[in-house]
Amino acid sequence: MKYEFGFIGVGNMGGAIADAVCRTMPKGSVAVCDTDANKTGAFGMKYGAAVLSLDKIAASCRFLVFGVKPQVLPAVMKDVRPHLDDSTVVVSMAAGISVAAIEAGLSRRPVVRIMPNTPCAVGRGLILYVPNDLVKADDLSALLAGFAGAGTLTPIAEDKIDAASAVSGCGPAFAYLFVEALADAGVECGLARADAQKFAALMLEGSARMVLETGRHPGELKDAVCSPGGTTIAGVRALEEGGFRSSAMNAVRAAYIRTLELKK
């Protein structure tokens, strides 16, 4: 194969993964294809990535990554199928599209289904992945090494990927809302907007790191901040009165249910 990675679709999510791979892989090992010439042109200029047509990229890459929307994927698979090499590993990030559906659209071949999130754009993302039984161990290792610049890679059973994506894939939007709300409150209390936003974001980043690195339950960590009769417990009470935890749970459940609806 002439190129190690090929990306069909370099929009928000596909572009974030392609960007991470371009930072990791040697120059000249990545090719891109997109209906938006401005996006592919930017990748070509920034990383020296080759800009190819759909048929050419399908025929010349070890790993072919579909970064297109779920409703577009069937048509793309139909177009690339005649040009694929038998050894090409197809990687799909289309929400709700199973490995079996991809196999059906492309005939039985090596397939890896992934679910990334937007923090991959800054190298702090999470990529959940499910390979089928035709993916060779050395191919999977090379794929994960290429994706390493995007963040953490975690294998998951396919029957759990939709639920996990409702947390990790949709969750950044919920987190951004939380940061925005905290910053708004900071501004109301007299902080400059830029400072309030910075403080809220750094607080969220550090708190998440505490959960990951200490292994302690979030409730225990919360209790450690709440002094008896203090300021923090007063704020916690206000959040509970507003249904904070219930709203967060409902958001994840709504995202999960919507994913299931899109699969029908």
CA-nearest of 8, 154, 14, 10 to 95 is 14
pLDDT of residue 74: 93
Total count of domains within the chain: 2
Q: Give the tens place of pLDDT for each residue, 195-216.
A: 999 999 999 999 999 999 999 9
Q: Is residue 9 part of a domain?
A: yes
Q: Edge-to-edge, what's the strand order for the sheet holding 61-66? A: 50-51, 30-33, 3-8, 61-66, 89-92, 111-115, 125-131, 151-155
Q: What is the pLDDT of residues 83-129, one digit of tens each?
A: 999 899 999 999 889 999 999 999 889 999 999 999 999 999 999 99
Q: Are residues 178 and 151 in the same domain?
A: no
What pTM does this model have? 0.91
Q: Residue 230: which CATH number?
A: 1.10.3730.10
Same domain, 28 and 51: yes
Closest CA to 141 of 67, 28, 29, 62: 62
* pLDDT tens-digit series, residues 156-172: 999 999 999 999 999 99
Model pLDDT, residue 150: 95
One domain, residues 148 and 57 = yes
Same domain membership, residue 195 and residue 129: no
Residue 179 shares a structural domain with residue 249:
yes
198 in a structural domain: yes
- Shared domain for 19 and 149, answered yes or no, is yes
Q: Is the pLDDT of residue 237 over 80?
A: yes
C-beta atoms surrounding 79 within 10 Å: 13
Q: Residue 47: which domain range? A: 3-156
